[in-house]
Structure 1
Amino acid sequence: MSKTYKSFFKQNITPVSLDQYVSKICTVELKEYLKINDIVYEVDSKAENGMTFSRLLNYKYSDTLKKMDPDYLVALVTEVIPNYSCLVFCPTKKNCENVAEMICRFLSKDYLKHREKEKHELIKNLKNISSGNLCPVLKHTIPFGVAYHHSGLTSDERKLLEEAYSIGVLCLFTCTSTLAAGVNLPARRVILRAPYVAKEFLKRNQYQQMIGRAGRAGIDTMGESILILQEKDKQQVLELISRPPENCYSCLVQEFTKGIQTLCLSLIGLKVATNLDDICHFMNGTFFGVQQKILLKEKNLLEITVESLRHLTEKGLLQKDTLFKSKEEHQYNFHITKLGRASFKGTIDLAYCDILYRDLKKGLEGLVLESLLHLIYLTTPYDLAFQCVPDWMIYFRQFSQLSPAEQNVAALLGVSESFIWKKASGQAVKKKVDKDVVNRLYLSFVLYTLLKETNIWRVSEKFNLPRGYIQNLLTGAASFSACVLHFCEELEEFWVYRALLVELTKKLTYCVKAELIPLMEVTGVLEGRAKQLYNAGYKSLVHLANANPEVLIRTIDHLSRHQAKKIVSSAKMLLHEKAEALQEEVEELLRLPSDFPGIVSSSIEKA
């Protein structure tokens, strides 16, 4: 550590305990306010009740506006925008959209003129990435410099909106609490619509994270937050702003299945520690180990570790061998089993590895390959299925459109059309059906439809689900498909799945028509660019690798020389890698015994 850094650390960071530090650094002054009715109070720790009178909101409200905006949001945001940026945190996603529309309804027409051309360009770009589609709410609010921001947007939409906000084209975001963490979008003023996240009252850490968005270092000299509250919440809010942040605890203690057991399996799988003494020594050095006296009351760390190892052994993920035996004790060395290695290599959640193994085993008895539905079901993430609440009428509508082969998949899984109909019509269902299988099949329908149509907007309308949710489902399925592939690679009995899952993972990753996938493997080529290249005659990796960058520039719209050279270079590199992989395969086959001439011959022809 340099002397300068040591000096800075001494001046600005105060150690409070072994694992806690308090920083004195504050780059921008932050003022906290509370608003009750039309009175604004400043948070003041020295005051008797924690706040002092600041001002009375002086804004002329019509009767209509009072009815539509009882919290004076229009008054609060127009004090800041459009010259400065503002964030309004709302309790729910739907509330974000409603508030954005409500504010725009009462904004002056002058706001439409502020950076008008750039807002028009933003709308155009949003349509381009969404195949000509645009959310009606955004279509109305963006011209005023206002937009909503929550998980219902796709990642491309969020990226464009965030960029526009960062450069001042958009001056107001109505958003959920998720924007407070992980997204660097500061504002001059942050408004908290209510002291709630969904139906839960704010925690101190959440409050601190949200108001921490106020202030733009290097741009503004100050920032301010305003928490809107009702009289009934006043006492609870005063306690909230005065209490210290909640303590931070190790996540290993929350769920032993996901925490300590997974860590133990990883330690043994990586051969970092293979006996109880070494594993316990490692555990003592973790954050959980440091906090064990606070977190553990009934059992100690050794007992929990032994219990976790016993559980992994009983599940068939670990085996133990005796290292030495004495009158006093037995010392065991642990090694990972084939199933354990498959779970470890596939990074499969230990809560689901048994279910996955059973599902894959059952799939071997009657895998339906006339459509992708059965494979998609096997790679639909379990955790998302457990959280799913199907729309039963939509479920029934989709079920009734299945082909005979697809209906066969549902029958193999134990889900009948009559069951879905009874649920859709509100009838009592006597026959017991696995709820998790039913939910997982519903999400499989969403993914299956998406792969066929490759249009998130149409699928969003068809299933009445947010675009962002569908995109997260697709991303999760692509990731889980790759995990299941690695799981199957470690277990010989599942050899049949390997080639199938390689192709399915590609389909889920790119979610485009099959002919575009080879082009999208090239660095820098997304769906829109792949369509341009394909329509221009560059239909394969070979065509792209042999392309002339200068011709590409003239043929493809909005393609720079740098991008064209990068695409051709990447295609050549990818083609070279594929050729090398085939060459290695041929050389390996040539080393096989002479009783395999047919295999060698066919592989050489393929290469």
Structure 2
Amino acid sequence: MSKTSKSSFKRSITPVSLDQYVPKVELKEYLKINDTIYEVDSKAENGMTFSRLLDYKYSDALKKMDPDHLVALVTEVIPNYSCLVFCPSKKNCENVAEMICKFLSKEYLKQREKEKQELIKNLKHIGNGHLCPVLKRTVPFGVAYHHSGLTSDERKLLEEAYSTGVLCLFTCTSTLAAGVNLPARRVILRAPYVAKEFLKRNQYKQMIGRAGRAGIDTVGESILILQEKDRQQVSALISRPLENCYSQLIQEFTKGIHTLFLSLIGLKIATNLGDIFHFMNGTFFGVQQKILLKEKSLWEVTVESLRYLTEKGLLQKDINDKSEEEFQCAFRITKLGRASFKGTIDLAYCDTLYKDLKKGLEGLVLENLLHLVYLTTPYDLVSQCVPDWMIYFRQLSQLSPAEQNVATLLGVSESFIGRKVSGQAIRKKVDKDIVNRLYLSFVLYTLLKETNVWSVSEKFNMPRGYIQNLLTGAASFSSCVLHFCEELEEFWVYRALLVELTKKLTYCVKAELIPLMEVTGVLEGRAKQLYSAGYKSLTHLANASPEVLIRTIDHLSRRQAKQIVSSAKMLLQEKAEALQEEVDELLRLPSDFPGVAASSLEKA
């Protein structure tokens, strides 16, 4: 290759900035105080300059309902462009969405009317006939709320509708800013607060960053609504630099350094003190050690953490290690440590979990699922639980004798809950965590029996999104407890029980629907349709004709039908291969264990 061609080749692969192809979108920041809009201007003396006065003719009723002029601000943008209104709380999201719709023109109802009706129909379908009354009133106007109280299916439908322009306005909490790519022409911050906490600079930037996304829009603007009393704090907010980013390893040893060390030794990445200390020096925490560690050195923190794990029985010094130097002292993981590591159990709760499972062996109630559900209710949600004592009492009094036995074994009596309902003094001390955990277990137990998030939401007066998150957390924790028990021989009895319970918690449907829901693209509603149409097993589904499925099942596209049949065939093949491997393994046994192999093959 000639010199000329070489240089040409080099020029041809020179990296080119994407900014040449995706024009930058200017984001204009505004502040609203009373009727005045100010533009954020770093060159101005107080960080802002006058932009305009809001001059909207509000009726007395509208002034009372909307003192912040939200209706005026959003109607400058929607329905032609999208808008996000960030609210301090979940309840405020719903109230603001409803308030805005009360004062929107009837013309908004005509915008993409058929698509909005289809959205409502789909929301009702995924809710098994239930539809949130707030969404029922707001969606026809192209408005919806977005917060953790929604189920994942509801969020997915609403986000798709917003992305395609069927919905033009979301009232939402700050969580939307962090994890969902839903840009807008205008972003309005209802107040400079998240719940009761004043906004941090990085939170503010994250929220307003939803406005005017490159490649999607040509301009973006944000408006922060504030009261006169917050002017000084907001002035500091818009002018200060972003908060520094610090390692969180030191904040919570049980979730940070201790878990890290157990993983390092469990994976044999580092097994002696010197190697672990060397590893720590290379972490973000190690880089920041002079800033984060005021009283101790990194060496002392490393030694103390290893000592803690050893005292907890999760690690032990390697008996084969003959090194006299402390720096070369080697560690190995214990059975309990391996169980915690394999089960990814939070080390803050591994002691409690071990004791609960050990106590469960003394009187495990197997006449119902309640006891097992209690043992797989996530510990980290217990502290957030605030029971409704009247509902608690009602649930407890409706238990069967066998279910009552579980509460008795845990030390939660009907008389104790009765005293909590009536506000009487409690003489006998009862563990608050056990009481709260049992309450959450009732929620999960009811959900497994009824398999309907909406009815359980009404029964326990809890947001349906919270209940769905509780179920997801329990399914995940049940799997973790199963792996924990697999490493400890004494808990062999839990293994088969937890395999089935994990499936029940994962799918939360009637037992006959579980095999169908293992197929990709089949959720509860579709599984019910397939079961009713005669496809009652994986084999039936794998041998189905996509064309027949389309004619038999309502609202099933050709693409979906082909995907379901293909997925069922693949799953069936995987199960057949797993069984074949088991048979092959058994056939290899006769030379050493002829009696065992013969009896095993008979069972197979």
Interval of TM-score (by shorter of Structure 1 and Structure 2): over 0.9
Deviation per residue, 1:38-62 (Å, 9 max, x gap):
1111111111111111111010011
Amino acid at match of 1:442: Y
The equivalent of 1:415 in structure 2 is 412
Q: Structure 1 residues 45, 567: CA separation in 2 closer, same or farther (over 3 Å shift)?
A: same
The equivalent of 2:332 in structure 1 is 335
> 1:460-499 maps to which residues of 2 (within 5 A)?
460-499=457-496
Amino acid at match of 2:314: L
The equivalent of 1:295 in structure 2 is 292
Which of 539, 543, 552 matches 2:540?
543
Q: Does 1:242 align with 2:239?
A: yes
Amino acid at match of 1:190: V
Q: Does 1:167 align with 2:155?
A: no
Q: Does 1:73 align with 2:70?
A: yes
The equivalent of 1:405 in structure 2 is 402
Q: Structure 1 residues 342, 286: CA separation in 2 closer, same or farther (over 3 Å shift)?
A: same
Q: Does 1:320 align with 2:317?
A: yes
Distance in 1 of aligned mates of 2:136 and 2:341: 47
The equivalent of 1:350 in structure 2 is 347
Deviation at 1:558, TM superposition (A): 2.5
Amino acid at match of 2:552: T
Distance in 1 of aligned mates of 2:13 and 2:29: 31
Amino acid at match of 1:143: P
> 1:84-483 maps to which residues of 2 (within 5 A)?
84-321=81-318, 323-326=321-324, 329=326, 331-483=328-480
Amino acid at match of 2:380: D
Native 8 Å contact 2:31 2:39 kept in 1: yes
Native 8 Å contact 2:31 2:226 kept in 1: yes
Q: Does 1:564 align with 2:570?
A: no
Deviation at 1:571, TM superposition (A): 1.8
Distance in 2 of aligned mates of 1:379 and 1:300: 39
Native 8 Å contact 1:101 1:140 kept in 2: yes
Q: Structure 1 residues 542, 219: CA separation in 2 closer, same or farther (over 3 Å shift)?
A: closer
Deviation at 1:601, TM superposition (A): 5.6
Distance in 2 of aligned mates of 1:603 and 1:360: 30
Distance in 1 of aligned mates of 2:487 and 2:439: 29
Which of 495, 500, 512 matches 1:515?
512
Deviation at 1:332, TM superposition (A): 1.4
Amino acid at match of 1:372: L
Deviation per residue, 1:366-417 (Å, 9 max, x gap):
1101111000001000001121111111111111100111110011111111
- Identical-residue share of aligned pairs (%): 86
Q: Structure 1 residues 557, 293: CA separation in 2 closer, same or farther (over 3 Å shift)?
A: same
Q: Structure 1 residues 317, 297: CA separation in 2 closer, same or farther (over 3 Å shift)?
A: same
Secondary structure class of the residue paired with 2:317: strand
Secondary structure class of the residue paired with 2:383: helix
Q: Structure 1 residues 420, 3: CA separation in 2 closer, same or farther (over 3 Å shift)?
A: farther
The equivalent of 2:80 in structure 1 is 83
Secondary structure class of the residue paired with 1:462: helix
Q: Structure 1 residues 559, 307: CA separation in 2 closer, same or farther (over 3 Å shift)?
A: same
Q: Does 1:575 align with 2:539?
A: no
Deviation at 1:3, TM superposition (A): 8.0
Structure 2: 5+ residue runs without aligned partners?
1-9
Amino acid at match of 2:162: Y
Native 8 Å contact 2:273 2:326 kept in 1: no
The equivalent of 2:524 in structure 1 is 527
Secondary structure class of the residue paired with 1:251: coil
Distance in 1 of aligned mates of 2:498 and 2:73: 54
Native 8 Å contact 1:191 1:227 kept in 2: yes
The equivalent of 2:34 in structure 1 is 37
Deviation at 1:592, TM superposition (A): 4.9
Deviation per residue, 1:242-278 (Å, 9 max, x gap):
0001011111121111101101000000000000111
Deviation per residue, 1:285-337 (Å, 9 max, x gap):
111111111111111111111111111111111111263444x7573111111
Native 8 Å contact 1:324 1:331 kept in 2: no
Secondary structure class of the residue paired with 1:256: coil
Native 8 Å contact 2:47 2:239 kept in 1: yes
Distance in 2 of aligned mates of 1:201 and 1:230: 13
Deviation per residue, 1:457-500 (Å, 9 max, x gap):
00000000001000000000000001001111111111111111
Q: Structure 1 residues 364, 529: CA separation in 2 closer, same or farther (over 3 Å shift)?
A: same
Stretch deviating more after TM superposition (370-379 or 562-571): 562-571
Deviation at 1:525, TM superposition (A): 1.4
Native 8 Å contact 2:142 2:169 kept in 1: yes
Stretch deviating more after TM superposition (373-382 or 211-220): 211-220
Distance in 2 of aligned mates of 1:89 and 1:606: 61
Distance in 2 of aligned mates of 1:598 and 1:267: 42
Native 8 Å contact 1:85 1:189 kept in 2: yes
Deviation per residue, 1:204-255 (Å, 9 max, x gap):
0100000111113234221110000000000000001000010111111211
Deviation at 1:517, TM superposition (A): 0.2
The equivalent of 2:6 in structure 1 is none
Stretch deviating more after TM superposition (519-528 or 134-143): 519-528
Native 8 Å contact 2:310 2:316 kept in 1: yes
Distance in 2 of aligned mates of 1:488 and 1:496: 9
Deviation at 1:524, TM superposition (A): 1.8
Q: Structure 1 residues 123, 441: CA separation in 2 closer, same or farther (over 3 Å shift)?
A: same
Q: Structure 1 residues 397, 598: CA separation in 2 closer, same or farther (over 3 Å shift)?
A: farther
Q: Structure 1 residues 329, 482: CA separation in 2 closer, same or farther (over 3 Å shift)?
A: closer
Amino acid at match of 2:435: V
Native 8 Å contact 1:586 1:603 kept in 2: no
Secondary structure class of the residue paired with 1:252: coil
Distance in 2 of aligned mates of 1:541 and 1:68: 56
Distance in 1 of aligned mates of 2:598 and 2:509: 34
Structure 1: 5+ residue runs without aligned partners?
13-24
Deviation per residue, 1:162-195 (Å, 9 max, x gap):
1111111111100000000110011111000000
Deviation at 1:563, TM superposition (A): 2.6
Deviation at 1:79, TM superposition (A): 0.7
- What is the alpha-carbon root mean square deviation over aligned residues? 2.0
Distance in 1 of aligned mates of 2:556 and 2:65: 47
Stretch deviating more after TM superposition (594-603 or 518-527): 594-603
Q: Structure 1 residues 45, 330: CA separation in 2 closer, same or farther (over 3 Å shift)?
A: closer
Deviation at 1:109, TM superposition (A): 0.8
Which of 564, 584, 588 matches 2:581?
584
Deviation at 1:505, TM superposition (A): 0.5
Q: Structure 1 residues 601, 552: CA separation in 2 closer, same or farther (over 3 Å shift)?
A: farther
The equivalent of 2:60 in structure 1 is 63
Deviation per residue, 1:491-516 (Å, 9 max, x gap):
11111111111110000000111000
Native 8 Å contact 1:324 1:330 kept in 2: no
Distance in 2 of aligned mates of 1:411 and 1:472: 28
Secondary structure class of the residue paired with 2:368: coil
Distance in 2 of aligned mates of 1:291 and 1:77: 45
| Count of residues in Structure 1 that have an aligned counterpart in Structure 2 | 592
